[in-house]
Amino acid sequence: MFIVQNYFLAVVLCFVTMLCWGSWGNTQKLAAKTWRYELFYWDYVLGIVLLSIFLAFTFGSIGEQGRSFTTDIVQVSSSNFWSAFFGGVIFNASNILLAAAISISGMAVAFPLGVGLALVLGVLVNYIQAPKGDPILLFLGVFAIMIAIVFNGVASGKMNAEKDQTTAKKGIWIAVSAGILMSLFYRFVAAAMDLNNFESPEVGKATPYSAFFIFAIGMLASNFIFNTLVMKKPFVGQPVSYKDYFTGGLSTHMVGVLGGLIWGVGTSLSYIAAGKAGAAISYGLGQGATMVAALWGVFIWKEFKGANKNVNFLLFLMFLLFTSGLILIITSGGN
C-alpha cells in the first residue's frame, strides 16, 4: 500500500485535507438552489463510500509495504472494527448538523463555529490519546484558533442583528453542537490504526485504507437513522420524503456525490498522513478547513456582503489568527 515516508509530505497531504474539508460545502451551496440539504446528503455519503472502495483496491493494495486491503480487512479485530465504525457514526451525526447549520447560517459562519470548535476540542482529545509534537506550540496554535472562533461569532452576531434572531441563533447552536460531536470522531478511527508502524502494523489493527472503508460503512449505516430523522423532522422547512429524492436529475445527484468525493479525499489523506504527523497534528491541520470555508463564504458566496468596518475588521482578525494558529500547529510537529 502507499505509505507516507516523511514529515514534509505528511504536512502537504494535511494541507490538501484542509482544502478538501473546507471546500466540499460549496457543492451543498450549489445544490441548495434546487435541492434540500437532507436530500443532498444521501449523495454526499454515497460519494464517500464509493471513494473508500476505490482507494482500498488501488493505493491500499499496491506496493510491497504494509498489508494490502484484502489481507488487512479480514484480520482487523472486532474492537478495532467497531472503533472505526463508531467513528463514522459520530462523524455522520456531527456532519448532518453541520450541513443543517450551513443551510441556515452559511459557510462563513457554520464552519468557523462548528469545525473551529471541533479543531480545538479534537486536538486536545487526539493529543491525549497519542501525544506527538511540541505541546507548547501545539496548544498556542489551538488558543489562537479559539480566539479566531470568538471573533467570527461576534462578527456573525453583528451581521444577524437585523435578521430573524430565532433562526440565526438556531443556526449558531446547531453549528456548536456539530463541533462538539465532530471533535470526538477522529480519535476512534485513529485508535483502530497502528499509527507508529504502517509498514508492519500490529496484528488486529487496521491500515488507513481499511479504517477509512470501515468508517465510510459506519456513515452509510447510521445515515438511515440520522438523515431519515431530519428528513421527517427538519430543523427548517417542510419534511421531505424518499420519493422527493428520486425526483432529482442526474446532474443534481452528481453534485452531492462530488461533495462526498472531495471530503473523502481529504479524510483519507488525513489518515494516511497521521502515521508521520501524529493524530493531533494531522487532525488539527485538516480542520484548518474552517479558514478555507470562511474564505469561500466571504469572498465567493458574499455571505458578509454589506458588512460595516467593524465586522470586516473582525473578519480580518479571524483570518490572521487562524493562519497564525495553523503555522504554530505545523511547527509543533517538527520539534
- pLDDT digit string (tens) for 131-172? 878 889 988 988 888 888 778 777 877 776 555 566 667 888
Q: Is residue 245 part of a domain?
A: yes
Rg, the chain, Cα only: 19
Q: Is residue 173 part of a domain?
A: yes
Q: Give the max Cα distance, the chain.
A: 61
Give how many domains the chain has, as a whole number: 1
Bridge partner list, 206:
193
Q: Which three cell numbers stand for residue 277?
A: 504527523
pTM: 0.83
Its domain, for residue 86, covers: 7-332
pLDDT tens digits, 307-324: 888 888 988 998 899 889
CA atoms within 13 A on the CB side of 141: 26
Which helix (H) or strand (E) segment holds residue 234: the answer is none
Q: Is residue 218 part of a domain?
A: yes
Q: Is residue 181 part of a domain?
A: yes
Q: What is the pLDDT of residue 167?
A: 67
Cβ-based neighbours of 209, under 8 Å, separated by 6 or more: 1, 52, 55, 56, 59, 60, 61, 69, 72, 268
Burial class (CB in 10 A: 0-12, 13-18, 19+), 240: middle
Q: Is residue 2 part of a domain?
A: no
Burial class (CB in 10 A: 0-12, 13-18, 19+), 237: exposed
Distance CA 257, CA 45 (A): 7
Q: Can you list the residues of the chain whose pLDDT is less than 70? A: 108, 160-168, 287, 334-335
Q: What is the pLDDT of residue 60?
A: 94
Q: What is the DSSP letter of 199?
A: S
Helix (H/G/I), strand (E/B), else coil: 133:
coil
